Structure 1
């Protein structure tokens, strides 16, 4: 087998263009999310909507990327896998003009928000884009409200969107090809992160890639970082983040010292599922390179493992971090075909290295 070319070492001298390209491939918002809610470096740690009940309008372009991949982007030629993180405040409306720049039928379907049948994004309701077609989808949100003396849930949460029409009535081909992304609905008073990352367990891949070709995600020590985890495909997964933990609730944070919410560092992530949380990069453990991966063992052996580089607070490379990154990039994972996975039984061995 031919030897792989050496990978560039990570330095602060990387061009902004390279940084943006790598971040887009990793599913990070750089630097402002689509619907106008800022998560750039200058964003305040807490935020309140300037006004409630507003309608935000964006245009999303569905495009073929190459290599069998399709993606969503906010301008022509910018489609990525996963697509851009879309954010709105609870109580607001998001209007999406979806432009289908492909030769395939497709759509955009949300989880966690309100929409009518015309914005369902499913062939069942004749809600999709033919090749070259432009179509509007309207997603609405609401705050918690009382009904019949009971409190009903609002829309705030870590949700997602995806195709529901390519290759069939359920969009299976679109999901396999990368037509998916994160949808965040904020509640007034929620903390805003410094950085965001979308991690999608899709089939036996992370963001349609396997190690060591999953882009390295980054933060500086002490920064507030938000992870949005999404599941697609046909397999059971669990999401595990090394050295950090979160509360298993809407925000990932405790309301006080006596909050009984379970604190976890591993959670099931099955097809159609999504959750999110915020952590402080390196809190209590320091800078370095930390793994995130599926904890189903033969899945991680097969390449469902990425790495998170936490730099020093000043942005410099921690001691030993480059060597760890080199080990990750030199490691070989054996990707299994779906038929092999179906034959894999608990208790059997799998040689993945």
Structure 2
């Protein structure tokens, strides 16, 4: 597969921040409108967004920002601490389903679980309200944590009361709650390890994420399914903190390039593409060796600063495209088909 530098749309997808003005105008603003310390409204701002749950080929399902636009993973949503997000979910399927968030506040009506009768019947539209809070100084050098972090959302009602089938079939996505002053990346990618799949695919069909050397890249990593995993990114490393960055010269946080990604967990970090190592085709994968052998591997392509392909990168991509899954071909894919 030859990668065309002109196909920027394949690797420039950003998260979605919806402003009141954008909603009133019937349009959605992408992450390009989100700048550090941007005046995205008051601390108590209420954001609104509509997601559409739809059937996809192969028996899969996805969330999308418009009818016919569902993807796996669903859109990466992003708000600031202190804001409220109202998610209008339109169920365009013939299945019961919902949307359930991690890391934010909500009442029982927005729990997204059948336990609280919080779900969408087939064809139903329902609004879920997610609230966030700011960090609070509790005195004595102690702070009550806020909502800032790399979180995620997923179905909790398709197939059974835990949404097991919905998650297996692609109803999930990333959620970022930022603190004002956080650095804003040039590119963002969501990586979901579920069963023996990455974003419901197995190598060589796993996502190839792309950036130019020197660009600030943000990864949002999410775990689902029944198996423990680890996420490893070749040639890049980050601090094991909320943002992936150190907060000062004496910050004792460990610097890592591999982190556990167990079911239900999530984390995120930022790196500068190719920093210290240059451009090239770099692997990301699960470091449980059996999982990597069976296809839990993808590529992070770092192009030259001008967007051109670095020497050897296309040959590496071609070799990856001829990747053969090793070992027994048992289906550990959560029966996604």
Structure 2-normalised TM-score?
0.91
Query: How many equivalent pairs are there?
Result: 321
Change (3 A) 1:54 1:43: closer
- Gap runs ≥5 in structure 1: 1-6, 24-28, 341-353
**Is this contact kept in 2: 1:205–1:303, CA < 8 A?**
yes
Q: Matched residue of 2:75: which SS?
A: coil
Question: Which residue in 1 is equivalent to 2:13?
Answer: 30
**Is this contact kept in 2: 1:224–1:278, CA < 8 A?**
yes
CA distance in 2, matches of 1:312, 1:167: 46
Structure 1 residues 147-199: Cα deviation after superposition (integer angstroms, max 9, x where no partner):
58642110000000000000001000000000000000000100000000000
**Is this contact kept in 2: 1:34–1:84, CA < 8 A?**
no
Q: Matched residue of 1:316: which SS?
A: coil
> Which of 33, 47, 60 is the matching residue for 2:37?
47
Question: Which residue in 2 is equivalent to 1:190?
Answer: 182
> Which of 104, 108, 114 is the matching residue for 2:99?
108
**Is this contact kept in 1: 2:152–2:173, CA < 8 A?**
yes
Change (3 A) 1:129 1:204: same
CA distance in 2, matches of 1:31, 1:85: 7
CA distance in 1, matches of 2:172, 2:16: 15
**Is this contact kept in 2: 1:70–1:174, CA < 8 A?**
yes
CA distance in 1, matches of 2:44, 2:253: 31
**Is this contact kept in 1: 2:14–2:76, CA < 8 A?**
no
> Which of 206, 226, 236 is the matching residue for 1:234?
226
Aligned: 1:68 with 2:59: yes
Question: Which residue in 1 is equivalent to 2:3?
Answer: 10
- Gap runs ≥5 in structure 2: 20-28
Following superposition of structure 1 onto structure 2, how do residues 129-148 of structure 1 map, counting pairs within 5 Å? 129-147=120-138
CA distance in 2, matches of 1:337, 1:124: 31
Q: Matched residue of 1:326: which SS?
A: helix
CA distance in 1, matches of 2:116, 2:138: 29
**Is this contact kept in 1: 2:17–2:31, CA < 8 A?**
no
CA distance in 1, matches of 2:34, 2:263: 33
Question: Which residue in 1 is equivalent to 2:26?
Answer: none
Q: Matched residue of 2:43: which SS?
A: coil
Query: Which deviates the most, 94-103 or 327-336?
Result: 327-336
> Which of 65, 68, 84 is the matching residue for 2:75?
84
